[in-house]
Each structure stands twice: as structure tokens, then as C-alpha cells.
Chains A and B, each alone.
Chain A
Amino acid sequence: MPFSPTTIKRLGKEGLEITWSDGHHGIYPNRYLRDNCPCASCREGKPRRLLPIVGNPGEIYPLQIGVVGRYAISIQWSDRHDTGLYSYDTLRQLCPCELCQPSGAKDTAQ
């Protein structure tokens, strides 16, 4: 069984703190998660997003977080974009902590 999150804590406008089944945890800035939205329209548009972020780009935060089956979460962002399903695998790969992304690859991480 791959890792799965045990808790997902909203840190307001900062981001999400995710604690994993193996005890690992990481803080995901909202902006970073939104930029790495795995949905088809965002991915197709890489490196530029197809869907422009509405409003102040610094002010992106999740309006709603839902659990999808037992493999992913969905996030409705404050720009109303909500089609991304962040699978646990993807989330784990995205973990921006020093251990997971030693080169500080925050902005370009896959």
C-alpha cells in the first residue's frame, strides 16, 4: 500500500499541512499546489496555465477540500477552479519539504 495522508490541515491563506501514514509531513503552499494542479486543462496548458487565475494571484486558497474515493482529494480553489484530483501519489511526489525536494525545486516540481 502506498502512503496515504492521515490528516490534512488548512493553514488559512498559507497552505496545507499534510501528515502521512508513515509519519512524514510537509507544508504545501497554496500557490504551489494550485500551480501544480493535475487536471487535464492545467496540465495541457503547461508551462503556462490555460485557466487564468482570477483576482489577486497571491490570494489563492482552498474554499473546499473533499476526499475522493480512497485515493485522492479534490480542492476547490478561491479562483473557482475545482477539476483537479490530487491523488495521494501525486501529493506525496509534490511534497515540498527539504527531504523530498532537496534542490529547492518548489516552483518547477513535477
Chain B
Amino acid sequence: MTTVDDIRERLTEIRPPGFPRDIIGLGMVQSIDSHDGAVTIHLNPPAMPPSSLNATIADIRRAVGALDGVKEVTVRVQQAGAAPGATGAAAFNELGPLPGVRDIIAVASAKGGVGKSTVATNLALAMRQRGLRVGLLDCDVYGPSLPIMLGLTGRPRSAGNQRIYPLEKYGLRVMSIGFFLDDDSPVIWRGPLVMGLVRQFLKDVEWGELDLLLIDLPPGTGDAQLTLVQQVPLAGGVVVTTPQEVATLDVQRGIAMFQQVNTPVLGVVENMSYYECPKCGKREDLFGSGGGERIAAHYAVPLLGQIPLVPEVRSAGDAGKPIVIDRPDHPVSQLFVEIAGKVLDAVEAERAGTAAPTIIG
């Protein structure tokens, strides 16, 4: 039976007309899927005349089709440069699954200030501690906070081929718009710029091999979020909220957005859930209680956990050493680890349903 490696091997024999290297060497082949003899090959070709591209595709079909046990060959092309004459082809620049990245999870909230980045960062670190290769993408263009939370400074390296390399901290691969901004300049951007940035972050960042990519979405349900859900098939979304009613109203919108685009909501994390008096240990529900539970029940999504408001979470974040790293034994760190486990289980459970349709012909 032919394996993906066999297919890849065979593809190294194919060279597009006029190019010095084979299609594997050119990095044209984004992914190869083989399932019961049905092979799907995703191409991301460099600019070339349509006739060359068609010839290459024909070569691929012939070569792979001749392999033992291959019944059907589908070649899908993602066009990097829009075809000449095509107008408004934005919808065809879909990125598809990111190469090398197994699952993508979005951390969202419809309202700002609920601690979304804190949750995203600590969850990413907790997943990292389980031995997964984790990337964290800060798409919060208006108020990027990952650089501070992770104590990361410096600009990401970029190579001549427009690839940007993420920074690394605590074993996480991290990319944030914050790396490219001066400290005191506010980000005042119009929608198209935001979408362009998100697209570039998805397309041009060299993540390498990742088990999981967590995306810290900007608050709200606007351009950036839509771009994201339209461009990459998310394994699911995690919605962060606080207990009070007003915040939860907004979160409903966040959940509705995911549901509208068929992306499963893996669960709700209630942050700043309560305050435990350090002196007497009495639990105080500062923002009221039960918001997360109500949301979870109403939309039939799990409540993944309730994280109390404790000074250590904030100070650890401000110091660039999130609590999961700073105080791994702290009860809140344990909570993050527990929530991370639930998220991973939910992703596993959803994986069955994430297959994109096969387009034949």
C-alpha cells in the first residue's frame, strides 16, 4: 500500500517547466492526504504561467495515479498571486489548514478586559507542560498584551522570502503585533488593515511543526474574527467571560459568531469568577455569580472552569512570568492545567467532524 511518504518521494520527480527544482524542493506541496486510495494534494505554487501549472498538475496526477493502490488523485491549488484577469478573488485566497499545524484553537471574548490574553497564555503554557508543541498568536491588534505577559521583547527575525519567525519563551512559539509596535503608539487601524495583518500572520509566520496553535483574538465580533474563521478551519473556540450580566450578554455574541460559521465552541472559561479573601478565606462574588454557568447552559456548551480573581495572576502576568510558570503549585495554576486538559479532550472529540469536503474534478 502506498504511504504519504511514497507519494512525497514520487513527487520529487516532478519539476514544473522552467523551474530548476522539483515541486517538493520548491515547497509547492503544502500537504498530502491519503485515505483509502483517495489522495488529495494541496499545492501552493509560485507564480508561473497557467500552462506550466496545468502541465505540472497533469504530471502529478499521472505520477501519483500510477502508484500502487491509488484510485483517485485530487489536486487542489491555492493561488498565491491572483490569476491574471480575476477580479475580487479574495475568497479564493483561503489558506486552508496551515502547513505543519495540527489544530487551531481561537480564544475569544466579545468584550474586552475579561482576561482573555491571561487565559490564552496560561492555557498555552499548561498545554506546553503536557509536552505538546504549542504556538500562541496574538491577534489582538488594538491592545497586544502578550509581549508584556511573557516578558518578550525584540523583533521577530524575518528571512528574505517574507517568512517571519516567531519568538520563543517558556517553550512557546509566540507571534504578536506588539513585537512590531513602539511602546507608546496606539493602534488606530481600519478594518482592511486589520484583516490584512491577520491574514499575513496566518500565512507568513513560520511556525514549524505545531500540535496546537492558540489564537488570542481581539475582543469583539468584527473583521479580524471573521477573517480568521473564514480563512482557517478552526478546531474550535474557547470563549472567556466574567460573571456579570453585561459581560455575558456580549459573550453570547461571541458564541453565536462561532456557531454561525460552524465552528464548535469548546467551552466557556469564567474569569475573575470570585475573590477569596486572603485573610479569612471567605469567597466573595465580586461580579455576581453564575454568568458562565448560565451561558454554558443556554448554549449547551461546557463551562470549562471558573478562575478566581487572585493578585498573583495579575502580578505574574505583569512581571512577564505567567502564574503557570511562576507558581505551578498555585491552585489557579492547577485550574489552568485542568482547563487545558478539558480543551484538549474537546478538540480530540471534535476532530472527527472537522474534515473539509473533497472537491472532485
Contact = CB atoms under 8 A, between A and B. Distances in A.
Contacts of B89: 76, 82
B230 A68 contact: yes
A76 B85 CA distance: 12
A10 B359 contact: yes
Contacts of B25: none
Interface string A53-96: 00000000000111111111110100010110101100000000
B170 interface: no
A1 interface: yes
Interface in B92-135: 92, 94, 96
B263 A8 contact: no
Interface string B60-89: 000000000000000000000000011111
B92 A71 contact: no
Given A9-B361, A67-B359, A80-B86, A88 B262 contact: yes
A82 B356 contact: no
Interface of chain A, main secondary structure:
strand
Given A64-B92, A82-B88, A69 B231 contact: yes
Interface residues of A, number: 30
A69 B353 contact: no
Interface in A11-68: 11-12, 18, 64-68
B263 A69 contact: yes
B358 A70 contact: no
B159 interface: no
A106 to B, nearest CB: 22
Contact of A85 (B91, B96, B231, B232): B91
A9 B233 contact: no
Between B94, B232, B262, the greatest number of chain A beta carbons within 10 A of the residue's beta carbon is seen for B262
A6 interface: yes
Interface residues of B, number: 29
A70 B86 contact: no
Contact of B357 (A2, A4, A80): A4
A69 B358 CA distance: 14
B262 A69 contact: yes
A67 B76 CA distance: 10
Nearest to A5: B357
Nearest to A88: B262
A6 B359 contact: no
A31 B53 CA distance: 28
Nearest to B79: A64
Contacts of A88: 262
Contacts of A18: 357
A58 B263 CA distance: 37
B97 to A, nearest CB: 10
A4 B262 contact: yes
B91 A2 contact: no
Contacts of B264: 1
A7 interface: yes
Given A69-B230, A69-B231, A70-B233, A7 B357 contact: yes
8 contacts: A10-B360, A64-B92, A66-B94, A67-B357, A69-B234, A72-B261, A80-B86, A82-B86
Given A69-B233, A74-B91, 9 more contacts: A2-B262, A8-B360, A68-B230, A69-B94, A69-B230, A70-B261, A70-B356, A82-B91, A83-B88
Sorted nearest first, the 3 A-B pairs with minimum C-beta distance are: A10-B361, A71-B262, A74-B91
